[in-house]
């Protein structure tokens, strides 16, 4: 089930697999990592013995730093289009998965990392002040796509989403719980065990009833992207190709290099 960047610890007996992100240094969602995630998810969905998956990081400290900016900077329009389709695909597959998905957030969870967490049925965050969660795209001068806005709005409501998205807020654990972007905050060492007991609660429900209900709740939001996928890709390509955007991404990447240097 796993791959180089996606470790999978299957427990067929319990019907649960733990999917660990391993794309050092910060589990950025590169094109390869996105593709491996979708393949692993598909394999688990096709193997009838699995009913639930826990998503977590193999390296505590960072759940996922989000989209890989090097895929969105200094590349061709065709590359941007291919990359954005892969981001859409991951969201669509996770958001509409028939599996129970629980994210065990054992590290920082900004932007694309938050995208992954928001697709899950249940979100558990380690109570560590360094582990913040949110959609901070505007801090980098870019914006979240409408379907990610919809997912956030479905989770924390219109007003909170309006403020969080415009300010690019990253919520530390207590605020994340209070605004509702996570469902539970537990001591770091209990994140994995809490995820196991949470997933058991969801798996106690007959699958077909739970899946039909999940589809009823999420269909309208998913269809909004499905019916405009190409337009959304064109929109992303034209936005990311703007000189001003390329310049701000370039500056941000250089700053990251300096900080690492």
Catalytic residue positions, numbered: 67, 112, 136-137
What is the rounded distance in angstroms from the CA atom of residue 188 to the CA atom of residue 248?
A: 35
CA atoms of 82 and 209, how far apart (whole Å): 36
Establish if 96 lies at the interface with a copy of itself (CB under 8 A).
Answer: no
**Of residues 60-89, those binding a copy of itself (CB under 8 A):** none
User: Which is nearer to a copy of itself, 208 or 260 (by Cβ)?
Assistant: 208
By CB under 8 A, is residue 228 in contact with a copy of itself? no
Interaction mask 125-164, a copy of itself, x per CB under 8 A: ------------xxxxxxxx-x--x---xxxxxxx-xxx-
Whole-angstrom CA distances from 84 to 28, 160, 214 are 14, 26, 25
Exposure of 256 in the CB half-sphere (CA atoms within 13 A) = 13
d(CA 115, CA 148): 7
Q: Are strands 52-57 and 16-21 parallel, antiparallel or unpaired?
A: parallel
Lay out the site mask for a copy of itself across 232-261 (x = CB under 8 A, - = otherwise): ------------x---x-------------
Cβ 219 to a copy of itself, closest distance in Å?
Answer: 10
Taking the least distance from each CB to a copy of itself, the nearer of 76 and 227 is 227
Distances, alpha carbon 161 to alpha carbons 103, 115, 139, 156, in Å: 20, 14, 15, 6
- Using the contact rule CB under 8 A, the part of the chain among 10-18, 57-65, 82-90, 199-207 near a copy of itself is 199-207
Q: Look at the block and give the residue holding tokens 């491996």.
A: 36
Binding site for a copy of itself (CB under 8 A): 121-122, 137-144, 146, 149, 153-159, 161-163, 165-168, 180, 183, 201-202, 205-206, 208-210, 212-214, 216-218, 244, 248
């Amino acid at each position: 089930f796993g791959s180089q960047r996606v470790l999978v610890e299957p427990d067929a007996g319990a019907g649960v697999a733990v999917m660990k992100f391993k794309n050092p240094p910060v589990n950025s969602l590169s094109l390869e990592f996105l593709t491996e995630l979708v393949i692993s998810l598909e394999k688990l969905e096709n193997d009838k013995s699995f009913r639930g998956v826990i998503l977590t990081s193999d390296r505590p400290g960072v759940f996922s730093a989000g989209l890989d900016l090097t895929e969105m900077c200094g590349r061709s329009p065709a590359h941007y289009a291919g990359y954005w389709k892969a981001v859409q695909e991951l969201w669509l597959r996770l958001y509409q998965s028939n599996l129970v998905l629980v994210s065990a957030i054992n590290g920082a969870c900004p932007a694309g990392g938050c995208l992954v967490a928001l697709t899950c049925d249940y979100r558990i965050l380690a109570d560590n002040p360094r582990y913040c969660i949110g959609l901070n795209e505007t801090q980098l001068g870019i914006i979240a796509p409408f379907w990610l806005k919809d997912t956030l709005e479905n989770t924390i409501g219109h007003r909170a989403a309006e403020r969080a998205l415009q300010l690019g807020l990253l919520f530390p654990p207590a605020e994340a719980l209070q605004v509702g972007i996570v469902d539970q905050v537990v001591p770091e060492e209990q994140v994995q065990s809490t995820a196991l007991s949470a997933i058991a609660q969801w798996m106690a429900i007959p699958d077909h009833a739970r899946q039909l209900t999940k589809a009823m709740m999420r269909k309208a939001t998913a269809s909004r992207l499905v019916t405009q996928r190409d337009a959304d890709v064109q929109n992303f390509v034209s936005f990311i190709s703007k000189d001003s955007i390329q310049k701000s991404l370039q500056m941000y990447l250089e700053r990251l290099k300096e900080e690492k240097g």
